[in-house]
Each structure stands twice: as C-alpha cells, then as structure tokens.
Amino acid sequence: MGTARRYGPYGGSFVPETLVPALDELDRVWRTARGDPAFRRELARLSRSFGGRPTPLYFARNLTRRGRGAEIWLKREDLVHGGAHKFNNALGQGLLTVRMGKPRLIAETGAGQHGVATAMVGAALGLETEVFMGEVDMDRQKPNVDRMHLLGAKVIPVTTGRRTLKDAINAALRDWIANVRTTHYLIGSAVGPYPFPAIVADFQSVIGREIRRQSLAEFGRLPDLAIACVGGGSNAIGTFHPLLRTRVELLGVEAGGPRGSRGAASLTYGRPGVLHGSFSYLLQNDDGQVSDTESVSAGLDYAGVGPEHSWLKETGRARYIAVHDEDALRAFHWLAEDEGILPALEPSHALFAAVREARRRPNQRIVVTLSGRGDKDLGVVLDAAR
Ligand SMILES: *Cc1c(COP(=O)(O)O)cnc(C)c1O
C-alpha cells in the first residue's frame, strides 16, 4: 500500500539520470528505517517531546450546531510544533538524512510553512539548512522568512519564472542534482518522484492512525466521513491512508480560487501530465503548459497534486471537490467565532465542505483535519474583510 512505486498509472520517477542513485538510496534507507525499532522509537520520542503529539481530536459543538446535522470533529494538527502538520514529514525526513550520513538539507517553500518546519528540524538535528523561496513569496510571507533566519537556516531567493513555489521547486531540484552526495532534498508534500510520495504519506499517516484510535476512544467507532484540504496532498494522504481499508468515506477539498476561476484545483479541473518528476493530475492549458494558479491560501496554490490522489480519484475510493476563496474565508470566521480557533486558510476550505456535508448527514460523524493555525493568514483575512 504505502510502498507502491506507482499508483495505477500515476507516480513514477521522471528525473535526470544523476538523481537515480540518490532516489534509490533514499528508498533503501527509508525501508530499512521503517523496520528498525530504534528508528521508530526515536521518531516517536521526538514527535512527542519536540512536536507535541499526539494532537487532540476535538468535538466542535458550536460548529456542529451551525451545520445542524452530523457531528463535526477536528483533528488538531494546528497544535503541532510550528503550527501545522508539515512538521511530521520534516522530522521524519530529517531523521532519514542523519541516517544517510548527509550533513545538508535543502527544501522549497511557498508560504514558508514547510521552510520553517525544515529549519526547526535542521536546527534540532544539527543539519545545515538552506531553503529555496520565490522572491514574490518572500515579500508576501516576510514573517516566515524572519523565522527561518532566526532558526539558523539560509533562505535563497528564487528569481526565475513567476518567482513562486513552482520555481522554488525547480531551483531546489537543480541544487540537489549538483550536490546530491552531501545533500538531502526534503520535499514538503506528497509530490515529486518516487519514493517521495510514499515517504511523505508514511510520515503523515500518524494523523490518520491517531484519528482511528481517538475516534474509537471518543465515540466508539470510526467516523462516517473524513475531510482534508489538498494542496500537494500531504495532510490529506496522511488522513486517508490508515482509513483506506475501512468504510470511512474520504473527501479531499481543493482550492477553487475566486468564483469563475479554476483556482489551483488540479484533480477537479486538470488532466494527467508530468510535473516535478511524477505523473499526476495537473492544471494545464491546451498545449500542455502548466497553468498559473490562484488561491487565497498560499499553501494550496500549486498546479500539481500527489500521484496517489490521482489514483484514489480514478478508483473512486476518495472524492475531490473545489471550494472557492470566499467560502473558505466564511468558514475561517465560523471557526474563529464559534469555536475560538483561528484556522489556517488551507483547512478553512475543508471546514466549509464539512458544514455543507453535515447538513445532509444527520446522525453521522465527520472528522476534519485542521492542518494548521491561522496566525500566518491574518493579513489576508483582514484585507478581504475591508
Ligand atoms: C502547506 C499546507 C497545506 C497544503 O499542503 P498539503 O501537502 O496538501 O497538506 C495545508 N494546510 C496547511 C496549514 C499548510 O501549511
């Protein structure tokens, strides 16, 4: 399941020859690490004492009243160290880097959340850390640039293309090709060439495993529906994986952007193609050029999506929809005012879908993965309210 090289026709590894040995080594080291009790103990120890896991499963009583139907429960990944689920993957891959004996980490970042998570882990594990970030994003997300600096990481401005996430990934891949013997590329979502999608799913599956355990403890059975937002797809695949062989319905929510646009909804509006080393759904124009995307949430603003989601869509095991910017903003305010929680704008897309689903599901239970907290988004939310 988590170790497939391909997901039906999706996935694969479309990379230059020079990267093949590094991908093979990573695959080998990850597979041995998974089976090594010492590695698992260390991962569990740091997840707990550094990361703050397990995160709670919270009954959103007031949001449930608003939905007037199914009970809505929140998986509180906003309480993980750094304020988002990104830490789970950064920690896991950081430990793999140490195991491979590589002294240097590189990463790409869009909104800066993955860069911050990588910088925290790099500091704690004593790894030299450099983060590629588009110049446009560095302007938009200055507080995260400051955080990365304070955590001892170097931030490298990317000045090519549209100077945003896609260009930052290209720059990181180029650096990796040049420095592959000393460097691990810590990809931040369930995307990229094999084995990255499988590794990221593995380290994020702690979310779904805890949902299983906590649902049984809180209400005596699994939820009827699990919902998560989908950018590259890592918090969603981590939520879904441990539930794949159950009867729980799975719903992924993409960024629909402003009304009338395709936003960044690769699975909803795209078609399969190759981007960043793997074959998956992709927003592209008629000539196969990767489309420009737009979304109120920087973390969902990516034209591609992890290959396993393409397969889950095609097999019908998971369903995917798009939610527009203004609906995500509405859900942000609902959660703030109803529950006293400021959510990130990314999971606000999933929250909107949850309230809508709840209305037609009396007597059911819905778990929504609240992938991050909203402090980083206050500027956007306040501007939108003006
Ligand atoms: C980065 C981010 C996302 C989107 O990434 P996925 O890989 O799709 O999970 C979602 N929520 C938050 C809070 C993020 O920081």
CA distances, 338 to each of 60, 92, 256, 376 (Å): 8, 35, 24, 20
- State yes or no: pLDDT of 5 exceeds 80: no
For ligand 1, whether the C-beta of 141 sits within 6 Å is: no
Quick one: which atom of ligand 1 is closest to the CA of 110?
1
Q: Please write the tens of the pLDDT for every residue from 88-137.
A: 999 999 999 999 999 999 999 998 999 999 999 999 999 999 999 999 99
Quick one: which atom of ligand 1 is closest to the CA of 237?
9
Query: Which residue has its alpha carbon closest to ligand 1 atom 5?
Result: 231
For ligand 1, whether the C-beta of 300 sits within 6 Å is: yes
How far from chain centre, in Å, is Cα 173? 19
Quick one: which atom of ligand 1 is closest to the CA of 372?
13
For ligand 1, whether the C-beta of 200 sits within 6 Å is: no
For ligand 1, whether the C-beta of 351 sits within 6 Å is: no
197 and 191 in contact (C-beta within 8 Å)?
A: yes
Ligand 1 centroid to residue 374 C-alpha, Å: 12
Residue with tokens 């790894």: 127
Residue 229, class by beta-carbon neighbours within 10 Å (0-12 exposed, 13-18 middle, 19+ buried)?
A: buried
Q: Please write the tens of the pLDDT for every residue from 9-22.
A: 999 999 999 999 99
229 has which bridge partners? 253
Ligand 1 centroid to residue 111 C-alpha, Å: 10
- Rounded to 5°, the CA angle 261-265-269 comes to 75
* Main-chain dihedrals φ then ψ at residue 239, nearest 5 degrees: -70, -45
Ligand 1 centroid to residue 232 C-alpha, Å: 7
For ligand 1, whether the C-beta of 192 sits within 6 Å is: no
Distance in angstroms (rounded) separating the CA atoms of residues 49 and 71: 31
- What band does 141 get if pLDDT is binned at 50, 70 and 90? confident
How far from chain centre, in Å, is Cα 177? 24
Arithmetic mean of pLDDT, 1-16: 82
Arithmetic mean of pLDDT, 346-356: 98
Distance in angstroms (rounded) separating the CA atoms of residues 370 and 290: 29
The catalytic residue positions are: 86, 108, 371
For ligand 1, whether the C-beta of 116 sits within 6 Å is: no
- State yes or no: pLDDT of 157 exceeds 50: yes
Mean pLDDT, all residues of the chain: 96
Arithmetic mean of pLDDT, 329-352: 98
The residue whose CB lies within 8 Å of the most ligand 1 atoms, and thus the one to mutate among 87, 133, 189, is 189
Arithmetic mean of pLDDT, 193-214: 98
Distance in angstroms (rounded) separating the CA atoms of residues 88 and 62: 29
What pLDDT score does 4 carry?
Answer: 59
- State yes or no: pLDDT of 383 exceeds 60: yes
For ligand 1, whether the C-beta of 204 sits within 6 Å is: no
- State yes or no: pLDDT of 2 exceeds 50: no
- What band does 1 get if pLDDT is binned at 50, 70 and 90? very low
204 and 346 in contact (C-beta within 8 Å)?
A: no
Q: Please write the tens of the pLDDT for every residue from 273-306.
A: 999 999 999 999 999 999 999 999 989 999 999 9
What pLDDT score does 113 carry?
Answer: 95
